[in-house]
Amino acid sequence: MKNHHVREVLFSSRQIGARVRKMVHDMAEGCRGEDLVMIGILRGSFIFLADLVRELYSQDIHPRIDFMTLESYGAGTESSGAVRIAKDVGMDVAGTDVLVVDDILDTGRTLTFARQHLRELGARSVRTCALLDKPARRVVPFEADYIGFTIEDRFVVGYGLDYDGRYRELPHIACVTFQE
Ligand code: IMP
Ligand code: MG
């Protein structure tokens, strides 16, 4: 782990809460009448997914929930390139309407891989959702169906996002600054 500081708050927990409510409001109509399965990409999505589904409940939408663990990042902040399934979904998604949930859309490799994989498992539709989007970092062209906030090319932690396994528990999203 490099010498670093976690200081500047980019989005407060209140700002995140307001945005999540708005996102769910926008996605709710499209989800009605579907056999909705929400699949969180572990580990970064766990807090975001938990907030989304409780907000969906208030819109009277009751998805099934599962997770898959995908790995592309090693330790640190740079993607290794390849995406690997460390743990696949446990339920049969054939014929269902899947909404994949991730913390952040960065190079685009993870969500590209997840969408392709879930289509191969027979999902009827696959949509994608990420709380954060860093379009400047894209390597594979990819647009998510739902995005919370678009940000600059900064490394961020909190609300599920980690630096080397740490800071996922922060209720807000903060920037990490690195000393050389
Ligand atoms: P992608 O495959 O490059 O789009 O990467 C997505 C994954 O990279 C996310 O699920 C995160 O785990 C990780 N990631 C990308 N940017 C950040 C960041 O700024 N902070 C923490 N994790 C990040
Ligand atoms: Mg991560």
Q: What is the pLDDT of residues 123-136, one digit of tens each?
A: 999 999 999 999 99
Residue 80's CATH number:
3.40.50.2020
Residue 38 lies in a domain: yes
Q: Quick check: is 103 in a domain? A: yes
Q: What is the pLDDT of residue 105?
A: 97
- Taking only Cα atoms into account, the Rg of the chain, rounded to an integer number of angstroms, comes to 16
Q: Please report whether residue 166 resides in a domain.
A: no
Instruction: Classify residue 173: in a domain, yes or no.
Output: no
Q: Is the CB of 79 under 6 A from ligand 1?
A: yes
- pLDDT, average across residues 50-70: 97
Active-site amino acid positions: 106
Candidates 135, 60, 125; CA nearest to 98 is 125
The answer to whether residue 75 scores a pLDDT higher than 60 is no
Q: Is 52 exposed, middle or buried (0-12, 13-18, 19+ CB in 10 A)?
A: buried
Task: Work out the mean pLDDT of the chain and round it to a whole number.
Answer: 94
Give the chain's domain count. Answer: 1
CA angle, corner 62, sides to 29 and 57, nearest 5?
80
Span from the CA of 33 to the centroid of ligand 1 (angstroms): 32
Burial (CB < 10 A; 0-12, 13-18, 19+), residue 40, is buried
Tell me the residue range of the domain where 73 lies. Answer: 14-154
Q: What value, to the nearest 5°, has the Cα angle with vertex 39 and ends 95 and 36?
A: 45
Residue 168 lies in a domain: no
Residue 9 tokens, joined: 């708050």
> Strand, helix or coil at 97?
strand
Q: pLDDT value at position 149?
A: 98
Q: Which residues pair with 156 in a beta bridge?
A: 175
**139 in a structural domain:** yes
Q: Ligand 1 pocket, 42 CB below 6 A?
A: no
Ligand 1 pocket test, candidate residues 73, 131, 167, most atoms within 8 A of CB? 73
Residue 78 pLDDT > 80: no
